[in-house]
Amino acid sequence: MSFFLCVYGGIYNDTEHEWKFPIQYRAWNAVDTTYIDKAFYLISNNTCLNFTKNKDLGYNESGIIFGHIGQGYYSNNIGPKKNEPVTIFLDNECRLKEACIISLILQALGVFPEQTRQDREKYVDIKYDNINNTKEMIYFNKTDPTITSDYDTKYDYGSLVQYYRKSYSKNDQDTISVKGEYKEYYQLMLGQKNSVTLNNYKILSRRYCNNYCDEDKPKRCAHGGYKNPRNCSQCVCPFPYEGEICTKKIESTLTQAQGCNPIQKTVSKQGQTYQYKGKGICVETFIASEGKKVQLKILEQNMTPQTPCARNSSMVEVKYKKEDERDVMGLCFCGSRSEPVTITSEGTKLILIYNGGRNEDSLKVELKAID
């Protein structure tokens, strides 16, 4: 798998780099558009952006053209070009994944790499000595705050368009290094292409759709969600939330016999062990009393090894951050584990998401309250 231009971070917010809608698109004759069409549908359905398929789109017109290459995938521009289309090149792997295609459409729409955000020093270090050559520094240097904005999005290690940790490396060493708590696990999440995160849609909506809905009427979306410009009575919600204002959780499909009982559980200082097994999703919420925190210890885990390790089938996700930061991807764990891992909630709540993709998948955890 190759990781080329992957984008997010800030987005152009000046008039020079503003798209006019609907945006036309087409593909080379040999390129199947099934997944391309699905990618545009997903973006359109979660924003106010409109796209039109036009098989006659010329090379002297504004729009997006999709081509095919043998290995790797990239967009040849960030934002629109004058009097010519942006070209996105897909390889055999990326062309079959809506999420991968969306990551490149985001770049064409003017979104910059995550690691170029103005607040990136709190989250990552850039290893400039490991980057291939100077022309690729544009994908690591901070964006210009006079013509870009992050709006109200937060740095998300699991963002669909966060660069892979070794992107543009000249020596197979990391070019991006995560900072802070649980950095060794976040490091393994960088560069995923399986799941579109809330902020991938949200930054587009903030750029182009801010006047469509009143965010406070009738009620404000919870957990960092935002009003859907297609229907202002509905919210676009971060995983695993859903519902009109993002207060419900997605339905668990793992049965009680498989260890899932998705009711809110209060943890004690004595602690309790829980086990999950087999195929299915289980979303569990654990609460500590006021002034306490929830401590989760992964004792045993048998899931599919994945690189990068991020939201997908056959893995575990832990949302431990405070209420106002639940719109980013949680801490993810893949593969098998022999040594225990301990995660502590920032507030009084922790959400555990078991996503079993195989009959042999299993997880054993201990939950307790700590000071």
CB 116 within 8 A of CB 141: yes
pLDDT at 7: 36
pLDDT at 6: 38
Each residue's pLDDT tens digit in the chain (371 positions)? 333 333 334 888 888 899 999 999 999 998 999 999 999 999 999 999 999 999 999 999 999 999 999 888 999 999 999 999 999 999 999 999 999 999 999 999 999 889 989 899 999 999 999 999 877 887 898 888 888 898 989 999 999 889 999 999 999 999 999 999 999 999 999 999 999 999 999 999 999 999 999 988 889 999 999 999 999 999 999 999 999 999 999 999 999 999 999 999 999 999 999 999 999 999 999 999 999 999 999 999 999 999 999 999 999 999 999 987 889 999 999 999 889 999 999 999 999 999 999 999 999 999 999 99
- CATH homologous superfamily of 18-109 equals Collagenase (Catalytic Domain) (3.40.390.10)
- CATH homologous superfamily of 256-370 equals Spermadhesin, CUB domain (2.60.120.290)
Q: Which helix (H) or strand (E) holds 201?
A: helix 198-208
Fold of the CATH domain 215-249: Laminin (2.10.25)
What does the alpha-carbon distance between residue 109 and residue 300 come to, in Å, rounded to a whole number? 43
pLDDT at 174: 97
Within 42-103, strands assigned E span 51-53, 64-68, 74-75, 86-90
Residues contacting 24, CB < 8 A, separation 6+: 51, 52, 53, 54, 57, 61, 62, 63, 64, 85
If you count DSSP H runs as helices and E runs as strands, how many of each does the chain have, helices first? 4, 24
Task: Give domain limits for the chain.
Answer: 18-109, 114-189, 215-249, 256-370
Fold of the CATH domain 114-189: Collagenase (Catalytic Domain) (3.40.390)
Same fold: 18-109 with 215-249: no
